[in-house]
Amino acid sequence: MTEDEKPKDGETRPALRQDLDAALAAPLGEIDPFALARRDLAKSLPRRFYKAAGAQACAEGFELALDGRPARTPARNRIALPTLAAAQALAAEWERQSEIVDPAQMPLTRIVNSAIDGVAREIEAVAAEIARYGASDLICYRAAGPEALERAEAAAWDVALDFAARELGAELVVARGIAFVEQPEAARAALVEAARAAARPEAGGAFSLAALHVMTTLTGSAVLAFAVERGAMSAADAWTAAHVDEDFEMARWGADDEALAARARRWREMEAAADLIAALRAP
């Protein structure tokens, strides 16, 4: 490498920066720490290329700054958020990086990047996709035995169904077994409107919608995601509710360490999405 090819202060080598951008742009759930570890045998992750991460005011609100310079998404858009609390949470994630910048440990950054580079241009499409999850929502498909599992599902999910009817105006039909049940048109329309409401500027705009989408796909339930987004349920309680069936099976047959490790990784993404929504709506 010649002197001209060496990175300046605050820069990474171009190839490594491209790798970092690609990883930070990847959909949540596609970052596999084990795959990254195997890849690192041949190629290291980018070293931390900044001394300090912080939040600073900008025309769009508050932006992520690395060594005082505006940071950008993989699509080269400025990373600006509507509230100081949200920008500070993002900066804290970057500040927690030690000698390397590890995308597997940066779920909040990936949500923010997806909101800026993708969701902001596809609000209606993302809202419709969330509603589609609701049309075949996890909590609407109940086990046909054993009785203990039926009781566990009812205890975890009935409160969410009540929330959907009361707060979202979506009265969903419950089925036993795996046969598909068509949800009422009015319920499906109510879910679309609820997703649109999450995307309003005062609710956090594309950032809030992106976080809602993440929680929906992670839990398999738009209703549980809406309950967290509306403050009717904690992220931890929604996460527990989403895993009633899995936990029941583990209680009967024993824990699956690999499955639990994967769940722990997904939980960090769920927690980051919920934390982002809270920061977007902070006073």
pLDDT at 178: 80
**pLDDT digit string (tens) for 6-45?**
344 444 445 445 555 655 566 554 444 444 444 443 356 8
Residue 18: predicted pLDDT: 58
Q: Beta-carbon neighbour count of residue 255 at 10 Å?
A: 11
Q: How confident is the model at residue 3 (pLDDT cuts 50, 70, 90)?
A: very low
What is the spatial distance between Cα 56 and Cα 96, in angstroms, rounded to a whole number? 18
- Give the mean model confidence (pLDDT) for residues 106-130: 97
Q: What is the pLDDT of residue 45?
A: 80
Average pLDDT on 60-81 reads 96
Residue 262 CB partners (closer than 8 Å, separation 6+): none
Instruction: Write out pLDDT tens, residues 142-191.
Output: 999 999 999 999 999 999 999 999 999 999 999 998 888 999 999 999 99
pLDDT tens digit sequence for 244-283: 999 999 999 998 899 999 999 999 999 999 999 999 998 7
Which one is predicted more confidently, 68 or 27? Answer: 68
Percent of the chain residues past pLDDT 90, beyond the cut: 80
pLDDT of residue 46: 86
Question: What's the rounded Cα separation, in Å, for the pair 191 and 213?
Answer: 13
User: What pTM was computed for the model?
Assistant: 0.86
Q: Which pLDDT belongs to residue 224?
A: 98
| pLDDT in the model for residue 49 | 92
Chain mean pLDDT for the chain: 88
CA distance 225 to 13: 39
Share of the chain above pLDDT 70, in %: 84
Q: State the pLDDT at residue 41.
A: 38
Inter-residue contact 87 to 61 (CB < 8 Å): yes
Beta carbons of 224 and 160 less than 8 angstroms apart: yes
Taking alpha carbons only, the member of 173, 165, 169 closest to residue 137 is 173
| Spatial CA neighbour of 225 closest among 265, 168, 150 | 168
The reported pLDDT for the residue numbered 40 is 42
